[in-house]
Amino acid sequence: MINKGIVREVKGDIIKVHLYKESACAHCSGCGNKEKMGSTFEFKCSEKVEVGNVITFEIEDKSLLNIAALVYLLPILLMIGGYFLGEFLGFTEGKRVLTSFMGLILSFAFIYTFDKVKGSKIIDQKIKLVGIEEAPSEDGSCSIDK
């Protein structure tokens, strides 16, 4: 997946990038946000970039799919698994629902811990800088809202 954004901050080898919205999203005002800019993203970069540079970077699709599966599927699977664990243990319907929600809470705790321990390291390893463009000129020919 290729993304593009403007470098807003550089701290050593950590850069903060304000991402452009994808082309389909940038032309739609369905969510009420009419800006062309999306969220802010921070990652480690060994290349020399300056504040205001427009960079293009790529994140491996396989990594994104793995992370999406973890975040979206794990809670559902543990919630269903918790219900069937309660059934296996002979719990009443109310207790099965309770074990189901305990599985959901356990999945959120796992995802939170995983993100804090390994999340940013995995993302930093999977990002490849594709291109760096100079900062837009200050003569007014191209303006970027901050």
Q: Which two tokens stand for residue 44?
A: 């480690």
Q: What is the pLDDT of residues 55-77, one digit of tens each?
A: 887 777 777 788 888 899 999 99
Q: What is the pLDDT of residue 77?
A: 96
Q: What is the pLDDT of residue 97?
A: 95
Q: Which two tokens stand for residue 85?
A: 């664990």
- For residues 113 and 127, what is the distance between their CA atoms, to the nearest angstrom? 22
Per-domain boundaries in the chain: 2-133
User: Which stretches of the chain are assigned E, i.e. beta strand?
Assistant: 2-11, 14-20, 37-44, 54-59, 127-133
Whole-angstrom CA distances from 146 to 10, 14, 23, 137 are 16, 20, 19, 15
Q: What is the pLDDT of residues 75-132, one digit of tens each?
A: 999 999 999 999 999 999 999 999 999 999 999 999 999 888 876 666 656 677 777 7
Helix, strand, or coil here: 29?
Answer: coil
Q: What is the pLDDT of residue 104?
A: 96
pLDDT score of 35 more than 60: no
- For residues 65 and 60, what is the distance between their CA atoms, to the nearest angstrom? 9
Q: What is the pLDDT of residue 136?
A: 59
Q: What is the pLDDT of residue 140?
A: 44
Q: What is the pLDDT of residue 61?
A: 74
Residue 29's pLDDT band (cuts 50, 70, 90): low
Q: Which two tokens stand for residue 53?
A: 């540079």
